[in-house]
Copies of this chain bind each other. A is one copy, B any other.
Amino acid sequence: MKYKILEKPDCEKAYELVEEAMRKRATITLFACCKVEYEGRALSQLNWGERIILIKPDGSFLIHQDKKVEPVNWQPPKSKTRSYLSGERLILESHRRTPKELLTVEVRQIQFISYANMEDFEELEQAGYEKDMSDMIMERPHLIEEGFTPKTREYSVEHGFIDILGKDNDGNLMVLELKARKAGVSAVKQIRRYLQDLENTENDYLKECKAQKKKIRGILVAPSIMEDAREMIEEEGIEFVSVEPPRELKRDKKVTLDAF
């Protein structure tokens, strides 16, 4: 059976359905009055009230109130769910080993409970992130400027990683910091720290650059920039290049390639 629903079951009937659902590795949906306690990375309690509970076959456990996107309490995938009856009540426990975390739900009055085996073989296709921007710039470096040659991605320096390191037409070093969203002051501070890090780095290649009197150019790459960040890059001698993150889904891309 693909799914089953019980309306206003007593806790014993609900318990049987929960056990059956777990055997079948189905997803449980429960609308009931419950009380919740959590102890683990933090500590919390939530008094009696009606919530929607989702228990997924991967061990994820979610408790939703009627507000917000985030669940009020939860456990991550691979948690172990256990259910049992205590007096007239259904207890749902979700346990995790490392870190040690325990979620305990006491269920009083059940409006409905269901389980369902969800057939879903699709994964989300998405675009418009920093990584997509990085891929695009490596493929088409002229988007930054004519003659730009990217050398290294994720180049490690003292305070983090330089998104893209490369050279311009005159052999000057170019330090690119990418942001998929509007860049703020923090992005400018970040790139400024990377430039300082490079100045302080003892590295044959960088020594050679300095010996040849080559400059180190800092480039902030983002779709747009906030006003105070704009002012700061001018003071700091950092450059700004406007690039939109590519908004092409892989599926679309594939179709386009197949067309040729």
Across-interface contacts of A22 in B (CB, < 8 A): none
Chain A 63-107 per-residue mask, 1 if CB under 8 angstroms from chain B, else 0: 011111101111111000000000000000000000000000000
Across-interface contacts of A124 in B (CB, < 8 A): 44-46, 72-73
A126 proximal to B (CB < 8 A):
yes
- The reply to whether A118 and B65 form a contact with Cβ atoms under 8 Å apart is yes
Given contacts A52-B54, A69-B60, contact A44 B116 (CB under 8 A): no
- The reply to whether B45 and A3 form a contact with Cβ atoms under 8 Å apart is no
- Set B3, B41, B66, B114: member contacting A118, Cβ < 8 A: B66
Chain A: residues with Cβ within 8 Å of the partner, total of: 62
The A11-65 residues at the B interface (CB cut-off 8 A) are 27, 29, 31, 33, 41-52, 54, 56-58, 60, 62, 64-65
- The reply to whether B128 and A42 form a contact with Cβ atoms under 8 Å apart is yes
A161 proximal to B (CB < 8 A):
no
CA distance A57 to B256 in the complex (A): 41
Name which of A33, A67, A116, A123 has the most chain B CB atoms within 10 A of its CB.
A67
Across-interface contacts of A51 in B (CB, < 8 A): 118, 120
Across-interface contacts of A64 in B (CB, < 8 A): 54, 56, 62
Query: Residues of A with Cβ closer than 8 Å to B?
Result: 2-3, 5, 7, 27, 29, 31, 33, 41-52, 54, 56-58, 60, 62, 64-69, 71-77, 111-112, 114, 116, 118-129, 159, 181, 189, 245, 247, 249, 251
For the A-B complex with A48-B122, A50-B120 known, give 6 more contacts whose Cβ atoms are closer than 8 Å. Answer: A42-B127, A42-B247, A43-B126, A50-B118, A51-B118, A69-B75
CA distance A71 to B64 in the complex (A): 12
- Set B27, B67, B75, B249: member contacting A43, Cβ < 8 A: B249
Given contacts A5-B5, A41-B181, contact A122 B69 (CB under 8 A): no
- The reply to whether A69 and B65 form a contact with Cβ atoms under 8 Å apart is no
- Among residues of B, the one whose C-beta sits closest to the C-beta of A42 is B128
- The reply to whether B128 and A46 form a contact with Cβ atoms under 8 Å apart is no
Q: In angstroms, how far is the closest chain B Cβ from the Cβ of A214?
A: 28
- The reply to whether A122 and B68 form a contact with Cβ atoms under 8 Å apart is no
- The reply to whether A111 and B116 form a contact with Cβ atoms under 8 Å apart is yes
CA distance A245 to B41 in the complex (A): 10
